[in-house]
Amino acid sequence: MKKSNNTILYIATVLIFTITSLIILFNIKEDYFQDALENGFLFNKINILDYQMGKGKYDSINIEDGFKVYKENNIVKIDKNEETLSIDSTLLNDEEKTRVIKNVIYSIKDDKDTYNDLGNNQEFLDEIHNFDEFFDSFDFDYESIIIKHTKDQNIIYKLPYNESSKFMSFMFENIESDPILIKLEERYIDPNKPIIALTFDDGPNIYTKDIVNTLKQFNSVATFFVVGKNVEGKEDIINNILEEGNEIGGHSWDHTLMLKLDYEELYKQLYWVKDVIKASSKEEYEIKLFRPPYGAIDDNVRINSSYPLILWNIDTYDWKSHDIDSIIEEAILTVKDGDIILLHDIHEETRDAVEQLVPILIDKGFQLVTVSQLYDLKGIELKAGEVYYNIK
Ligand SMILES: [Zn+2]
């Protein structure tokens, strides 16, 4: 696929130097910042709003006395004890605006196709330096202020809250008591919007943690169908998968084709993986799903499986192409609500493709959940021995 179709500029990661300078700036609150940044609940006030208001459930929400977030004339506003802060271009001082412009230009230069379209275009360079006119749409999500160029919706910059000194001082000045730290609620999934499940087979593997990280970065989860004999020595990967809210399913003991097996061998392939995952995970995790290698199922498998048998309806052919663009293209070509996508976390190209694929899918409006969550959200009960491809 062409990269120019795909000029999504997810640039914002928390930059160490910024954190450091802010910690110096707000040195009194150092512990609070560190704790909050590490645990991801710094802006739980905003999170609650984002989950609730973002879904159109409320126009405004009072989180605690004297603190309110709402939208007025399409501008998000935050009230705190009579003061109001608008989420718009006035949020940034000149230095911060310059940094946003630089980062957008750098990221465009990184992407050759887009650079040819935009990056060496003098008109574009002139326009972007006029920050207030160029970026004229502001919103926020659970971790950042989202700055958009309305003419080209692909030009998006996600500014972490802590990179706006005005935002930080407004939120935290004159707060005397410790903020209430609430661990993030489970992600809110809107059952009326498209939901799909990414699945990763044949791990755990050296690439698995990177995939888990990418999913986490985009507030998403997936299902990992693991091969039992691969687990020994990779217990930390198993725990990492689970700690980030993902699901683990069984994918046999040693990737044997499970057709015409005698009972003893069939039992080993179906259930040893369950035992090793239970033993390897801190919370004695119980596998609830199974995917037979190659999707090969006979009556024996069906009758003896105490798990629902989860196949897929979209094969990315990552095992065959080993090509990043092709993996992404196969995944998005026909994807629709209720689909299950097959990937393998044992390939480097899959790891790399997922970094682009996840934001593309989210941008297309898909919510990424585990297979169990997918069926649960659609109100379909998974039954032992039955075969599932996707939800139609
Ligand atoms: Zn497999």
Q: What are the structural domains, with CATH classification, of the chain?
A: 3-172 (no CATH), 195-388 (3.20.20.370)
Helical H segments across 1-89, by residue range: 16-25, 30-39, 44-53
Q: How far is CA 55 from CA 48, 49, 70, 109, 300, in A?
A: 11, 9, 13, 35, 46
Pick from 117-126, 242-251, 372-381 the range whose average pLDDT is largest. 242-251
Report yes or no on whether pTM surpasses 0.85.
no
Give 191 Cα–ligand 1 centroid separation in angstroms.
Answer: 30
Percent pLDDT > 90 in the chain is 47
- Those residues whose beta carbon sits under 5 angstroms from the ion ligand 1 are 201-202, 293
Q: Does the pLDDT of residue 60 top 60, yes or no?
A: no
- 60 vs 100: which has the higher pLDDT: 100
The per-residue pLDDT for range 216-235, each reduced to its tens digit, is 888 899 999 999 999 999 99
Residues belonging to the active site: 201, 344
**pLDDT band for position 38 (50/70/90)?**
very low
Give 374 Cα–ligand 1 centroid separation in angstroms.
Answer: 21
> pLDDT value at position 6?
53
The per-residue pLDDT for range 233-244, each reduced to its tens digit, is 999 999 999 988
The per-residue pLDDT for range 166-213, each reduced to its tens digit, is 887 777 665 443 333 323 334 667 777 899 999 999 999 999 999 999
> pLDDT value at position 143?
61
Q: Does the pLDDT of residue 103 top 70, yes or no?
A: yes
Q: Does the pLDDT of residue 9 top 60, yes or no?
A: no
**pLDDT band for position 33 (50/70/90)?**
very low
Spatial CA neighbour of 280 closest among 228, 245, 223 = 228
Give 179 Cα–ligand 1 centroid separation in angstroms.
Answer: 47
Pick from 127-131, 173-177, 191-195, 260-264 the range whose average pLDDT is largest. 260-264
Q: How far is CA 170 from the centre of its chain?
A: 29
Please list, in sequence order, all residues whose beta carbon lies within 8 angstroms of the beta carbon of residue 184, skipping any fewer than 6 positions away. 40, 41, 44, 47, 142
Give 294 Cα–ligand 1 centroid separation in angstroms.
Answer: 6
> pLDDT value at position 114?
62
Please list, in sequence order, all residues whose beta carbon lies within 8 angstroms of the beta carbon of residue 216, skipping any fewer than 6 positions away. 244
Eight-class DSSP state of 290: B
Give 225 Cα–ligand 1 centroid separation in angstroms.
Answer: 8
**CA–CA dist 285, 281 (Å, integer):** 6
